[in-house]
Amino acid sequence: MNKLIVDSSTEKRIKSGIQLLSGKDFPDLELTDDVVSIQSRSGQFLGTAYLSQQNKGVGWLISRQPIQVDQEFLVALFEKAKSKRQSYEQSELKTAYRLFNQDGDNFGGVTIDRYGDYALFSWYNAFVYAQRELIVSAFQRVYPDVLGAYEKIRFKGPDYESAHLYGQEAPETFHILENGVVYEVFLNDGLMTGIFLDQHEVRGGLVDGLAAGKNLLNLFSYTAAFSVAAAMGGAEATTSVDLAKRSKELSEAHFRANGLDLENHRFVVMDVFEYYKYAKRHGLTYDVIVIDPPSFARNKKQTFSVAKDYHKLIAQAVDLLNPGGTLIASTNASNLTMGQFKKQIAKGFGQIKYRELSVQQLPSDFTINNNDESSNYLKVITLKV
Ligand code: SAH
């Protein structure tokens, strides 16, 4: 096995429990897409890692021990991950959730989600992609009940982004259950699946009645999953706004899957900043507003980054909120700390008084590395004006 000798700052980081190897620390690294033994300058063994270029970082520490990435090692990882998710496995109200979450389950670069009888693997670098037969066969030993699987490519290399991986093929679209609500999903159409599983607790709060009897506005709504959850939880009306044309039919599919009448539920294909102006012009106001933008977006006129511009979304939402209204502000930007996010919110409110009702982060199936704050990327703050 090749050795990689690291400097003292990387040594410190590794010892603090961070698994991601940052590109900044290894400017001249030859990326071998292979397993290496990590050692300090003084020759101390620090752990086993693999090197591979991905969107964030150049590799992952995968053990504090000298190990081989073989069946036995991977089966043990999957069994441990499975034991952490027993409550999900036993729940009859939830058939879709994350089975394996990168460094939260001690092996960065790969995630696996369950969608009913099927699994969805996401590969974040060329190393895990090259090892996928081994990874899949270990997975199948731990999850013999999974009928078939799909894969998503989340790094530059292969000339496809989605494919069937093994076993039975899933229907083009099918239903999963979450908090007793039905969502229509698809596993082989680009990188998206019709639902973002990491938001299931926030949807759970809506199903439990956070917006009961209320008029809800859902901004950056994608397939309107928050709106469906709210409607199932007794919301009187919902409006879902997304720029993507396709979002409308996908949103309607979720509503129909639950037998909901569409009369009080609107789907607007529009830029959110345009919708703010439209709503103001027409005197539209709401009791609950959900804001869940992409970390970075660009339209014809402007670029938007959560880190710099979130306060603008808040300020304009506050203008549309009824007195005593509730705001659910969400972001999945890992480059923004909770403190920075709260500052953006405070800036958006300016002089207007508000109080926090709850702060949510990733749910327990999206395991995190407790020693690495950036692995807990999701931040959802519910506020009352
Ligand atoms: N809240 C959603 C996920 C949002 S994903 C959910 O819970 O499922 C981000 C969405 O923002 C995408 O669907 C994208 O089409 C949309 N989007 C990006 N820029 C936008 C803009 N300027 N106005 C409206 N929608 C936008």
Query: Of ligand 1's atoms, which has the minimum distance to the CA of residue 218?
Result: 1
CA dist list (Å): 1 to 34, 44, 229: 9, 16, 51
Does ligand 1 have an atom closer than 6 angstroms to the CB of 328? no
117 lines ligand 1 (CB under 6 A): no
Angstrom distance (rounded) from CA 174 to CA 183: 8
Ligand 1: centre distance to CA 247 (Å): 9
Q: For 17, phi and psi rounded to 5 degrees?
A: 105, 0
**Quick one: pLDDT at residue 64?**
96
Q: CB of 196 closer than 6 A to ligand 1?
A: yes
Mutate to test the pocket of ligand 1, among 220, 238, 309 (most ligand atoms within 8 A of CB): 220
Q: Establish whether residue 183 lines the binding site of ligand 1, counting it when its CB lies within 6 angstroms of any ligand atom.
A: no
Name all domains of the chain by residue range, CATH numbers in brackets. 2-63 (2.30.130.10), 71-171 (3.30.750.80), 196-384 (3.40.50.150)
Alpha-carbon torsion 280, 281, 286, 290, what sign?
Answer: negative
Of ligand 1's listed atoms, the one at least distance from the Cα of 304 is 22
CA of 24 to the centre of ligand 1 (A): 31
- Give the pLDDT of the chain (385 residues) as one tens digit per residue: 899 999 999 999 999 999 999 888 887 777 778 999 999 999 999 999 999 999 889 999 999 999 999 999 999 999 999 999 999 999 999 999 999 999 999 999 999 999 999 999 999 999 999 999 999 999 999 999 999 999 999 999 999 999 999 999 999 999 999 999 999 999 999 999 999 999 999 999 999 999 999 999 999 999 999 999 999 999 999 999 999 999 999 999 999 999 999 999 999 999 999 999 999 999 999 999 999 999 887 766 778 889 999 999 999 999 999 999 999 999 999 889 999 999 999 999 999 999 999 999 999 999 999 999 889 999 999 999 9
199 pocket-lining for ligand 1 (C-beta < 6 Å): yes
pLDDT given for residue 164 in this prediction: 98
Among protein residues, the one with the nearest Cα to ligand 1's atom 10 is: 220
Mutate which of 222, 288, 298, 331 to test ligand 1's pocket (most atoms within 8 Å of Cβ)? 222
Asked if residue 330 has its Cβ within 6 Å of ligand 1, the reply is no
Rg (CA), the chain: 22
pTM of the model: 0.96
Question: 217, 242, 377: which to mutate for ligand 1, most atoms within 8 A of CB?
Answer: 242
23 lines ligand 1 (CB under 6 A): no
Beta-carbon-side half-sphere exposure of residue 336 (alpha carbons within 13 Å): 24
* CB 366 less than 6 A from any atom of ligand 1: no
Predicted pLDDT of residue 300: 67
Taking CA atoms only, the protein residue closest to ligand 1 atom 19 is 297
Question: How many A from CA of 41 to the centre of ligand 1?
Answer: 47
Ligand 1 atom closest to Cα of residue 290: 1
SS (H, E, C) the chain: CEEEEECHHHHHHHHCCCCEECHHHCCCCCCCCCEEEEEECCCCEEEEEEECCCCCCCEEEEECCCCCCCHHHHHHHHHHHHHCCHHHHHCCCCCEEEEEEHHHHCCCCEEEEEECCEEEEEECCHHHHHCHHHHHHHHHHHCCCCCEEEEEECCCCCCCCEEEEEECCCCCCEEEEECCEEEEECCCCCCCCCCCHHHHHHHHHHHHHHCCCCEEEEECCCCCHHHHHHHHCCCCEEEEEECCCCHHHHHHHHHHHCCCCCCCEEEEECCHHHHHHHHHHCCCCEEEEEECCCCEEECCCCEEEHHHHHHHHHHHHHHHEEEEEEEEEEECCCCCCHHHHHHHHHHHHCCCCCEEEEEECCCCCCCCCCCCHHHCCCEEEEEEC
